[in-house]
Structure 1
Amino acid sequence: MKIKYLGIYIAATLSMSACSMVGDIDDIKPYYKMETDNVVYNTESAESVLRGVYKSWRTFNVSSFRPYMSILSGTTASKGGGLTGGQEFITNSIQASNVALSNVYQGSYLTINSANNLIMLMERGDAKGTPEQRVLEIIAECKIQRALAHFQLLRHFGYFFDLQSNYGIVLRDQPFQGTETAARATVQASYDFILQDLDFAIAHAPAQQEFHYYVTQMTAKAIKAKVLLHMGKYALAEQIAQEVIEDADNKGYMLEDDFSNIFIQGYESTEVLFATYTSGAMETASDQVARTTYSDYTKRMADGLLAGASDGNLATGAGYDPRFYMMFNPASAGALGNGKYPYASNGTGKHNTQMILRLGEIYFIHAEAAARNGHDSAARESFQKMASRAGYPMNYVAQLPSETLLRSIFDHKVLELFAENGEDWFDYVRYYKAKNIGLNAIKSTIKAESQLVLPFPQAALAGNALLTQNPL
C-alpha cells in the first residue's frame, strides 16, 4: 500500500531529531518512501503539510545549535556538563567531525527539502479546490523558510561577508533524495537565490497572520533588510528596514514596552516577526541554554555601558544594563538560568519560544545601516528607541560621539539579542571585516580569519564529491 500523506514523511524525518543525524550531505531519507501521488489533494492536506515545514525549525538539529553560536562569539560561556562538541566552540577550533556541525547542516537542509516538496506539489496543482491566492501564499510561506534556511547555511558555512567569493553554499530549489551531488554556488549567487525567494514572498505571502509563528509579507521584508545588511548594501537595507518599522503597527507588530515581556509572551509577543510555536508536552524545542551562562566579556559590557557605573550587583541590578540583569538575576532567570528562556524544559504549560526574528532587531539593522550611510540623525533615532526601551535616558544616544556610534550600536545589539539566534557572532564577523573591531577583541582564541567560517561537516563532504571544503 502506498504512503499517501507527506505528513508521514515529515513525521519520520523529524523523529530523527532526538539524536545526532550523521550521514550524507542532504541525508534526509525518511523511514518510509514518500509517494507524490495524492500527498496533497485539497486545502486541508496542504495546510497540514505546511505546518510540518514550520515544525522543522523545532527539530533538535536546528534548535539545539543556537547556544553554540553565542559560545563561539564569547558572549556566553559553557557551564555544567556543557554541550556535546562544545569545547571546540569554546576554543574556536572547530573540526569537520564535530557532531553539532553535522546536525545543523542536515537540519537546515531538512527545512529546505520539506519546503521544496510542498512548493512542487502546490505548483503542479495537487491542492484541488484551493483558491489561487492561497496557493501562492503557501508557496510564498515555503519560500520564506527556504530563504531563511539557505541564509542560515550561508552565514555558517559560506564567506557571506565577501560578495566576490566562490565559497557560497549548495543551493536547492527542487526536492532531493539525499544522493544528488552539487557544487557550491558563489556567494553572490547564493544571495541572489535568497533574495529571489524573499521578493516572491513580499509579493505573495499573507499580508497578516493571526499568530506570529507564521510568516507574512512583513517577515519577508524584514529578512530582506537583514540579508542586505550582510551583503553590505547599506542604502537599501536602511530603506527597507525603515519601511518595516513604519508599517509594522499596521500589520500587527510592535515593540514590547517591557523587554522581559517578549520572552514571557513568546510567540504571542507583538514584537515577534517569526518564532517557533512551543506549547505543551509535545510541541517543544531543545534550547540547551541551561548549559550556558554569561561570559566575562558580556558581563563587563553590561557593566561598562552605563555612565559612571562600577561593578554591577546581580542581586539588585545596580550598575548593569537591564537586559543583562533580566537574563541572569536569580529572581527572573527561571529554571534554566536565563530569563530569555523563562519556562522549564518539561511540562504541560507554556514552553520557551525560540526567537528567529523580532522587530527589535530591525531597529538595530536600521540604526547600523543608517550610520554606515552617514545618516546620523536617522541612526540615532532608531538606536535611541532601543536604548530607551532598555532604560537608558532619552539623551543617551545624542551624547555619544560620532566616532563611537557604530561600536555602541554593536554593543547594545549584543546585549539585546545574545543567546537568541547567533547574531552576536555574525555581527562580530561583519564588524571585523568592515574594520570596526579587532580580530581578537572579544576572545583571545580567535587568531586567524579562517576561524570566522565553520568547516563543512565530514558527512557533507563524504556525500557530495563536488562539495569543496573551506580553506583552513
Structure 2
Amino acid sequence: MNIKYLAFFITAVSSLNACSMVGNIDDIKPYYKMETDNVIYNSASAEAVLRGVYKSWRTFNIASFRPYMSILSGTTASKGGGVTGGQEFINNSIQANNIALSNIYQGTYLTINTANNLIMLMERGDAKGMPAQRTNEIIAECKVQRALAHFQLLRHFGYFFDLNSPYGIVLRNKPFEGTETAPRANVQESYNFIMQDLDDAINQAPEHQELHYYVTRTTAKAIKAKVLLHMGKYAEAARFAKEVIDEAQDKGYALEDNFSSIFTNGFDSSEALFATYTFGSTETVSDQISRTTYSDYTKRMADALEGSESDGNLTTGNGYDRRFYLMFNPTLAGAQGNGKYPYSSNGAGKHNTQMILRLGEIYFIHAEASIRNGNDALGRKSFQTVASRAGYPEDYVSKLKSDVLLDHIFKHKILELFAENGEDWFDFVRFYKAKNIAINAIKSSIKTESQLVLPLPQSALAGNNLLKQNPL
C-alpha cells in the first residue's frame, strides 16, 4: 500500500455528487477506510497529506452546505431552481432524510478522520527525518481543524447553547473506518474535547504562515474565542478575542480597508484567519451560492440602518448599508450574483474563496463578549472599528443607547458575515436563547425550540445504533 491510496481517501469525497453520499452505512465504508502502511515516509509525503486535510474543507459535502444555513436563518432567500432539498430549510422543517444533512455530517467526519489519520502517522514517527518542531506543528494544525470540525458538528446537530444538555456529538480522536458505533457525548464533554485540541494547538501550531489558507496559533486563539462565546463564557471570550486583535499585525493579519477587497483578494486577503485555497481548473470549490439572493428581512435591515426602511437605492447604494450594497449591487455583483463570490465557478484563474474565519468576525466577538461581560467601553470600541470600515461615522457607536447596543451588533454582524459560514443562523439561536430577540424575529416559520437544532441524518442513525436522535 502506498501514498496513492491515501490520496484517494482524501479526495474521494470531492468526487462524489450529492446523491452518492446518501444511504446506509454500507454505502460509506470505503470512504472512511484507510490503509496506513508506507503512506508517510518523509517530510514531503507528510506535507502532501497535510494539504489533503486542508483540501477537505472545500469538498462538495461541506462547501455546498453553507448557503443552507443563511436560508435557514432567513437572511438569504432561495432563487431560481433553489438549492437541493432547500424547501425544508426555507420552511424550517428539515427532515432526517434530507440529502444536505447527510452530506454535511459525513463530509465533516471525513475531515476529522483525515486529520486523525495524519496525527496517528506523525505520532508514530512515520515522517523519517522531519524535525521534531515541524512534526509537532503538523499535529497541531490537524488539531485546529479537528476542533473546528467538531465545533461545526456541535453547532449543527447538538444543543450547543445548553452546557447541561446530553445532546452533544460523537467525538472522534482516533482513526475510524465508519463501522464503529459510539454514543453521543454530552454538550459539556463536547466542548471540553474541542478546547483541549485548541489549547494544544495554541502551544504547538506555527506562529506564522505566509499563506492564509493554513492555520496558526492565532487561528487557534480566534476559534477558541468563538467557542467560548458560544459557551457563554464572555470574559474569557473577550480576552482571547483581544489577544487575537492585539497580535494580528505582527502575525501577518489585518483588516482590509475596503470590505469588497476581502472577497476579491480571497485567500490572499490579510483579513483571512482561515480560508479555502481555490485556483485554476482543478483547485475549485463547489457551492450553490448562485442559487440564493438577499431576503426581504436583510434588505429592510440594511435599509433601516442607513436611514429608513424605504429609502435605499441598490443602483447607487444610497440609503443602504455599504456591505449589503457591495454584495448585491447589479453592477458590482460578480459571476455568482453577489460580491462575496465574485469569480466564475469554473475555468482558469482565481475562484471564489470560502472564508471560514476572518479577523472582522473577531472584532464582533470581542464587542459582544465585552458588552455581555459589563465592559461597555471596550465593546463599543471594537464595534466602531468594523462599523467605520462599513462607512458609518466615527461617533456612530457612541451615540447608540446601551439598551439597543446588542441589537445593533446582531444586525451589523449579519450584514458583515451573512452567506459566508452560517454565523447568521448560530447568532440567531444564541441571541434568542439570551432573550435578546423573539424566536420568530426573522422568519414566521420558526415557532418552536425544536427547530433550533438540525436533526441527525437518517444515514448516521442507520449506521450507529448507539446514536440517539435529537428531540423533535
TM-score (norm 2): 0.98
* 1:404-443 map, 5 Å: 404-443=404-443
Q: Is the 8 A contact 1:96 1:456 kept in 2?
A: yes
1:54 maps to: 54
CA distance in 2 between partners of 1:11 and 1:422 (Å): 24
CA distance in 2, matches of 1:385, 1:2: 51
Q: Is the 8 A contact 1:235 1:369 kept in 2?
A: yes
Change (3 A) 1:25 1:447: farther
Shift of 1:20: 4.0
* Separation in structure 2 between the aligned mates of residue 340 and residue 2 of structure 1, nearest angstrom: 40
Matches within 5 A, 1:133-282: 133-282=133-282
**What is the match of residue 298 of structure 1?**
298
DSSP 3-state at the match of 1:211: coil
Q: Which amino acid aligns with 1:435?
A: K
- 1:154-179 deviation line (CA, Å, top 9, x unaligned): 00000000000000000000000000
Does the aligned pair in 2 maintain the 1:4–1:37 contact within 8 Å?
A: no
The question of whether the paired residues in 2 share the 8 Å contact of 1:19 and 1:60 is answered with no
Q: How many angstroms apart in 2 are the aligned matches of 1:426 and 1:12?
A: 30
Q: Which amino acid aligns with 1:362?
A: I
Considering only aligned residues, what root-mean-square deviation do their CA atoms show, in Å? 1.5
Shift of 1:76: 0.2
Counterpart of 1:332 in structure 2 is: 332
Q: Secondary structure at the match of 1:129?
A: coil
Question: Secondary structure of the equivalent of 1:356?
Answer: strand
Residues 139 and 117 (structure 1), Cα distance of their counterparts in 2 relative to 1, 3 Å cut:
same
Cα displacement string for residues 59-106 of structure 1 (whole angstroms, at most 9, x for unaligned residues): 100000000000000000000000110000000000001000100000
Other-structure match for 1:289: 289
CA shift, 1:192, in A, is: 0.3
Residue type at the aligned position of 2:174: Q
Separation in 2 of the partners of 1:223 and 1:454? Answer: 22
CA gap 1:468/1:136 in 2 versus in 1, 3 angstroms: same
In structure 2, relative to structure 1, the CA distance for the partners of 1:102 and 1:260 (3 Å cut) is same
Pair 1:323-2:327 in alignment = no
Q: Which amino acid aligns with 2:426?
A: F
Deviation at 1:382, TM superposition (A): 0.2
- CA positional deviation for 1:210: 1.1
Partner Cα distance (2:366, 2:3) in 1: 48
Q: Deviations over 1:404-423 (max 9, x none)?
A: 00010000000000000000
What amino acid does structure 2 have at the position aligned with 1:394? E
Shift of 1:5: 4.7
TM-score by length of 1: 0.98
Contact 1:157 1:169 in 2 (8 A): yes
Amino acid at match of 1:326: L
Aligned residue in 1 for 2:366: 366
Rounded to whole Å, the distance in 2 between the matches of 1:307 and 1:178 is: 54
Name the CA shift for 1:134/1:24 in 2 (closer, same or farther; >3 Å). farther
Q: Is the 8 A contact 1:290 1:337 kept in 2?
A: yes
Unaligned runs of at least 5 residues, structure 2 = none
3-state DSSP of counterpart to 1:29:
helix
The answer on whether the counterparts of 2:2 and 2:38 sit within 8 Å (CA) in structure 1 is no
- 1:30-69 matches, cutoff 5 A: 30=30, 34-69=34-69
Task: Measure how far apart 1:24 and its partner are.
Answer: 4.4
| CA shift digits 1:216-257 (9 cap, x unpaired) | 000000000000000000000001100100000000000000
Aligned-partner Cα distance in 2 for 1:303–1:26: 51
For 2:332 and 2:147, locate their aligned partners in 1 and report how far apart those are by CA, in whole Å: 35
Do residues 75 (structure 1) and 75 (structure 2) align?
A: yes
The residue number in structure 1 matching 2:377 is: 377
Contact 2:29–2:179 at 8 Å: present in 1 too?
Answer: no
SS in 1 for 2:273: strand
Counterpart-to-counterpart distance in 2, 1:12 and 1:343? 25
Quick check: 1:70–1:418 contact (8 Å CA) kept in 2? yes
Q: Which amino acid aligns with 2:316?
A: T
CA deviation vs aligned residue, 1:141-165 (integer Å, no higher than 9, x gap): 0000000110000000000000000
SS in 1 for 2:133: helix
| 1:35 Cα deviation from its structure 2 partner | 2.2
Distance in 1 of aligned mates of 2:445 and 2:421: 22
Structure 1, gaps ≥5 residues long: none
Post-superposition Cα deviations, 1:292-348, rounded to whole Å, max 9, x if no partner, equal 000000000000012457421111111100000000001111111110000011110
Residue type matched to 2:412 in 1?
Answer: H
Structural mapping, 1:442-461, within 5 Å: 442-461=442-461
Q: Which moved more, 1:262-271 or 1:14-23?
A: 14-23
Question: Shift of residue 13 of structure 1?
Answer: 4.0
SS in 2 for 1:394: coil
Instruction: Go from structure 1 to structure 2 and tell me whether the alpha carbon gap of 1:310 and 1:22 turns closer, same or farther (over 3 Å shift).
Output: closer
Q: Deviations over 1:256-286 (max 9, x none)?
A: 0000000000000000000000001111111
Number of paired residues? 472
How much does 1:208 deviate?
0.4
CA offset at residue 287 of structure 1? 2.2
Quickly say closer, same or farther: Cα 1:309–1:99, change in 2 above 3 A: closer
Q: Residue 470 of structure 1 corresponds to which residue in structure 2? A: 470
Q: 1:204 to 1:24 in 2, by over 3 A?
A: farther
Between stretches 282-291 and 64-73, larger displacement belongs to: 282-291
CA distance in 1, matches of 2:149, 2:192: 14
Asked whether the 8 Å contact 2:201–2:220 carries over to 1, the reply is yes
Q: By how many angstroms is 1:31 displaced?
A: 6.5
Match in the other structure for 1:344:
344
Aligned-residue sequence identity (percent) comes to 76
List structure 1 segments (4+ residues) > 6 angstroms apart after TM superposition: 1-4
1:125 is matched by which residue type in structure 2? G
Match of residue 131 from structure 1:
131
**Is 1:24–1:464's contact at 8 Å kept on the other side of the alignment?**
no
Counterpart residue type for residue 342 of structure 2:
P
Measured at CA, do residues 169 and 26 of structure 1 come closer, stay the same or move farther in structure 2, by a change above 3 Å?
farther
SS in 2 for 1:293: strand
Report how far residue 364 of structure 1 moved.
0.1
